[in-house]
A and B are shown apart, each in its own frame.
Chain A
């Protein structure tokens, strides 16, 4: 069975601060996929990134960056120079082959960016 843990339930920062959201996962599969989704107040989940287990390269997209470390089973997400519009709930998720589009989500981290 798969498990995703987001230990930080809520984080509050002031605009322009950097913030890192932690994600730790568990799976016995050697092939798996990791995701981050953003959930704004409107409710829909917005896809941010997908990584597969064979690609440990860190990725940067604008103010967003992701650090994937198989040795610690972590897939952390950093927002640089946070903005008020970044306020949302962020979910880390995991999927494995032969499970179709079934994602196992972490509990989410609510990020509040104050002006």
Chain B
């Protein structure tokens, strides 16, 4: 059974650019959550999508957005990149949107903003 796949794994951008990250969940999983991991702030919840609808959103500015497609694949976009956006972005999939289920994480997309 294939795990959660995130692309690209590594990328470098410059300030002011935008970036799109992709996440393919485990087959059959309908919930996709995104987390940002930085040395200073640790792991922080960005948002969750379930059946193409955003269900929860963390405390991030509007530059961070996402969407989910009918096949449950999800993308997140960060516009007008800032140096502080450099982070490991982790995607997690789950069967349901309730926390009683286990989250399966991908290996992340490491974004460096210069």
Give residues in A with beta carbon < 8 Å to B: 33, 37, 42-47, 50, 91, 93, 95-97, 99-108
* Minimum CB–CB distance for B42 against chain A, Å: 5
CA distance A100 to B32 in the complex (A): 11
Question: Please, how many angstroms separate the alpha-carbon atoms of A44 and B103 in the complex?
Answer: 11
**Which of B12-20, B65-73, B75-83, B105-113 binds A?**
B105-113
Contact call A105/B42, Cβ cutoff below 8 A: yes
How many A-B contacts at CB < 8 Å in the complex? 73
Determine how close the nearest CB of chain A comes to the CB of B109; give it in whole angstroms: 9
Partner of B90, one of A43, A47, A106: A43
Residues B45 and A45 in contact, CB atoms below 8 Å apart: no
A-B contact pairs, 12 of them (CB 8 A): A37-B105, A45-B90, A99-B56, A99-B99, A100-B31, A100-B55, A100-B97, A102-B33, A102-B48, A102-B56, A102-B99, A108-B42
Tell me if B102 and A50 are in contact (CB < 8 A): yes
- Cα of A50 to Cα of B94 in the assembled complex, Å: 14
The residues of B that contact A46 with a CB separation of less than 8 Å are 105
* B50 and A100 within 8 A (CB): yes
Q: Smallest CB-CB separation from B41: which chain A residue?
A: A107
User: CA separation between A100 and B101, bound complex, in Å?
Assistant: 10
